Chains A and B, each alone.
Chain A
Amino acid sequence: MTDDNLYRDFILEHYREPHNRGVLEPHDLHFADSNPTCGDEMSMTLRLDQARERVTDVAFDGRGCAISQASASILTDDLRGLTLGELRDLDPAEVVANLGVPIGPARLKCALLVYKVLQGAVRGAAVGWPEEADVLAGGNAGGSAP
């Protein structure tokens, strides 16, 4: 895979017309976080079922680059029906791999901002960034890494 694949059409489509964009009112969970290296901000609202166990609906909001927006659009598509436990156990490497394009260290936080916001929402407090080595080691094409 070459770096040329980063802006593949489906990434740009998710960027131009992101899925699950907006703010759910009312909601059960809400969290906002940012990527300090670029100033991007993202918030997420989730609705849970009556048992407060499974996600029934999710939306994200904020502004960011094509990678962060596409990553949020793609991940939030997959969250409905998952339990809070399953959300907590989400593997950040999988979030990056699901993007289907090579993500190098320079753009890793863009791809993971939605993961960070989601974990904050589930845990009720901000979580740290996943370790770069843990996320990029899992056979993901190295992207633009030198």
Chain B
Amino acid sequence: MAVGQVGAPLLDGAALRADFPVFERPTASGRPLAYLDSAASSQKPRAVIEALADAYAHHYANVHRGIYELSVDADSRYEAARTAVARFIGASSPREVVFVRNATEALNLVAASWGGANLGPGDLVLSTEMEHHANLVPWQQVARGTGATLEYVAITDDGRLDLDDLRARLARGPKLLALAHVSNSLGTINPVAEITRMAHEAGALVVLDAAQSVPHMPVDVTALGVDFAALSGHKMLGPSGIGALWGRRELLDAMPPFLTGGSMITRVTLEGAEWNEVPWKFEAGTPAIAEAMGLAAAIAYLQSIGMDRVRAHERFLFERAWASLADMPGVRLLGPASPDEHAGVIGFVVDGIHPHDVATILDREGIAVRAGHHCAQPVMLRYDLPATTRASFYVYNDLDDVERLVDGIRTTQQVFGTA
């Protein structure tokens, strides 16, 4: 769905804000909250907050083992949430969806379980220079533990994956490629379908960190062709403490468990245990039951808007923000300029002003942005920056937020006398 050069965004951000109680909260600035930190975590619509409360008030018991009505109710709602996630990301079966705490846990699960069982000395694993630490440190750890070699695909000056470098490294026969769909620090949208085709031709599995894409655009793991994908509920209007790993059934079936204990077994003796089927094999202990129901409510909310429209809306805000910021003297933008390759996440630096100071002065205007390394220290090193400021958009943002951001940066430059 394309957005024209002129005209209003496709969503009415101000109207949608009415669904999110947080925007009723006054800020110290006296101005309404301009929340531009959804890439870190999103705000929650009333529908999700109410679903959580409703789960605890009316549908709560432990799942999987109860004979009684209430437990059966909780179990069926928990499993319905799994189905909702599967449908939302184009998985062929809910059995391929494992509930975890967040994308970080999902990636750790793949690294420890698949990596531990399939990697050894001499094996090559690829990650990229643009990864969030969550898709980088687990691979460092598993490489250390198994003797495998970990290499990183380079990124270009404008924040794209260097596909020539990728091609060269794939030619050396890596077993696996771990990459982000959307970079949390640069906003880059990677051409995942094309990359996956290249990786599979080279015999490598593809692990996709979809934490920044699933909340913001239509994502179909089957169409992308990847082998694993990780997502976090809290970044997609859902509760914290719930996320999902999707993986191909045959891969999940062959993997050893990650955490062990209750629920994930079929039979335990003092001598050993037999594992439950997937996905329950990977869900040891009592899971985040109410949070799974909250995630289902978040998915229903997003589906009621339509992910095409979410993407078009954020693309519109990105284009306007990028155009305004690119015109400002002393502001340097990170990542690709093309809206086709850039999600609603803008990392930037203001000459002569530390990102923390930018964020503090924006905060005084009621604008919430993030400043720091965004859990992507190698990206900061790559561009020789100690930190950046990051503004990120979601459904509840609108052009007013973009204007306030631009004005706030101008104010920051005035305070520091660099304008």
Contact = CB atoms under 8 A, between A and B. Distances in A.
Partners in one complex: yes
A40 B386 contact: yes
B354 A12 contact: no
Contacts of A6: 360
A88 interface: no
A50 interface: no
A39 B373 contact: yes
Contact of B386 (A39, A66, A144): A39
Nearest to A7: B415
Interface in B344-361: 353-357, 360-361
A114 to B, nearest CB: 15
Contacts of A144: 28, 360, 363
26 contacts: A3-B28, A4-B364, A7-B361, A12-B416, A37-B372, A38-B355, A38-B371, A38-B372, A38-B373, A38-B387, A39-B372, A39-B387, A40-B387, A41-B386, A63-B354, A63-B386, A64-B354, A64-B386, A65-B357, A66-B353, A66-B354, A67-B356, A67-B357, A144-B360, A144-B363, A146-B28
Interface in A101-145: 106-107, 110, 144
A3 B373 contact: no
Those 3 A-B pairs whose CB atoms lie nearest each other, nearest first? A65-B354, A65-B356, A39-B373
A67 B363 CA distance: 15
A65 B363 CA distance: 15
B356 A107 contact: yes
B386 A38 contact: yes
Interface in B227-273: none
Interface string A1-38: 00110110000100000000000000000000000011
B417 A110 contact: no
B377 interface: yes
B33 interface: no
Nearest to B380: A39
Contact of A106 (B28, B360, B386): B360
Contacts of B417: 12
Interface string B276-319: 00000000000000000000000000000000000000000000
A39 B28 contact: no
B34 to A, nearest CB: 16
A68 B386 CA distance: 13
B357 to A, nearest CB: 5
B379 to A, nearest CB: 11
Max chain A CB contacts within 10 Å: which of B356, B361, B372, B377? B356
B356 A110 contact: yes
A39 B353 CA distance: 15
A39 B417 CA distance: 24
A102 to B, nearest CB: 11
A3 B357 contact: no
Contacts of A68: 354
Given A4-B364, A12-B417, A39 B377 contact: yes
Contacts of A7: 357, 360-361, 415-416
A126 to B, nearest CB: 18
Interface in B398-419: 415-417
Interface string B54-80: 000000000000000000000000000
B137 to A, nearest CB: 13
Interface string B357-392: 100110110000001110001001000001100000
Contacts of B372: 37-39
A40 B387 CA distance: 8
